Amino acid sequence: MMKSIIEYKDYREYVLEYYRERKRTSAFTWREFAKIAGFASGSYLKLVCDGKTRLRLEGAKKTAHAMGLQGFEYDYFILMVRYESAKTDKEKKMCYEEMEALSSAHNVKILGSELFTFYETWKHSVVRELAVAMPGAKPHEIAKACRLPISAAEVSNSLRFLVSSGFLSVDVKGNYHQTNRSLTTGRLKVVSVAVHSLLRQMGEFALDAFDKLPISERHFSGITMGMTAESYEKVIEELTECRKRIVAIVSADKSVEKVCRLNMQLFPLTENLKEGKENVGLKEEQNA
């Protein structure tokens, strides 16, 4: 028996599960499924589930009707399709919040919703570190330790969220402990929208730190370079491994002296060039 639709986040996964369930109990085929939905191509929905094409809004409505979805289930399915096709983070966020509202109204929690809230603002990640590094500290003391603007009330709200969502635990003495030393979004696509918001905030803080902090307290460097698609992928792999090594180094620490942020950024400064596929030069900017 299939799970409730609001336990899904990916409409392709739901359509595939629906097909498998029908197939399990009858001689149901992709061609029959497409015909019921009104698609000319008998393989269209299979191509959708294989990730080779996507549902448009009208196609989503026809598919939802073909699966017998009504009421909130129909609305939720359409929201999943709209979420995937949204072109901006703002649109994605609106769709996700509507999905979460529907799931909450029907007592089903979307997997990853805590991570979405966690990554939506820098405050939760910083408070999570400071609460452990400052045992016994009051919210106003944690707020004062932040270089970034945050009030004691916001610290209190963050602490409540972090504990209720399982990011922090509290012992009998009232001290906070991290349930996991490091966090990852894994494959949760919905979280990426919130992470984008966090990255923007941290990018702005980096510019502020560049202007206000002495070189001894921050490190900025960069490389301007010509790349191919192949070297780009290799650099991405190297950055991923580097980040893992850094996490291992920090996780081995038994105590915390300060909370820092490391941004890793790689982005194009030009359009793709039709000629000149070889790296033509490197320019490195050291800490300045």
pLDDT digits (tens, 9 = 90+) for 27-72: 899 999 999 999 999 999 999 999 999 999 999 999 999 998 888 8
Asked whether residue 70 is domain-assigned, the answer is yes
- Reported as a pLDDT band with limits 50, 70 and 90, residue 283 is low
Asked whether residue 263 is domain-assigned, the answer is no
The closest alpha carbon to 18, from 58, 65, 54, 57, belongs to 65
Whether the full predicted model's pTM is greater than 0.85, yes or no, is no
One-letter amino acid of 221: S
Asked whether residue 155 is domain-assigned, the answer is no
One-letter amino acid of 45: L
Question: Residue 194 above 70 pLDDT?
Answer: no
Asked whether residue 178 is domain-assigned, the answer is no
Mean pLDDT over 223-231 rounds to 86
Q: Which long-range contacts (CB under 8 A, 24 or more apart) does 152-155 make?
A: 154/123, 155/123, 155/127
Q: What is the number of domains present in the chain?
A: 1
Question: Residue 1 above 70 pLDDT?
Answer: no
pLDDT tens per residue, range 94-124: 898 888 888 777 655 554 667 777 877 889 9
Asked whether residue 181 is domain-assigned, the answer is no
**Structural domain range at position 72:** 5-109
Query: Which residues are registered as beta bridge partners of 176?
Result: 170
Question: Residue 150 above 50 pLDDT?
Answer: yes
- Angular region, 221: left φ>0, alpha ψ -120 to 50, beta rest: beta
Question: Residue 187 above 50 pLDDT?
Answer: no
Query: Which residues are registered as beta bridge partners of 282?
Result: 225
Asked whether residue 100 is domain-assigned, the answer is yes
Q: For the chain, what's the residue count?
A: 288
Whole-number pLDDT of residue 107: 58
On average, the pLDDT of the chain sits at 83
Quickly list DSSP for the chain: -PPPGGG-S-HHHHHHHHHHHHHHHS---HHHHHHHHT-S-TTHHHHHHTTSS---HHHHHHHHHHTT--HHHHHHHHHHHHHHH-SSHHHHHHHHHHHHHHHHHTT-PPTTHHHHHHHTSHHHHHHHHHHHHSTT--HHHHHHH-SS---HHHHHHHHHHHHHTTSEEE-TTS-EEESSSS---TT-TTHHHHHHHHHHHHHHHHHHHHHHS-GGG----EEEE---HHHHHHHHHHHHHHHHHHHHHHHT-SS-S-----------SSPPPSS--S---EEEE---
Beta strands 222-225 and 176-178 are unpaired
Q: Which two tokens stand for residue 179?
A: 């349930």
Asked whether residue 45 is domain-assigned, the answer is yes
pLDDT tens per residue, range 198-209: 778 788 888 888
Whole-number pLDDT of residue 20: 92
CA distance 181 to 251: 6
Whole-number pLDDT of residue 265: 83
Q: What is the CATH number of the domain that holds 51?
A: 1.10.260
Question: Residue 223 above 80 pLDDT?
Answer: yes
Asked whether residue 22 is domain-assigned, the answer is yes
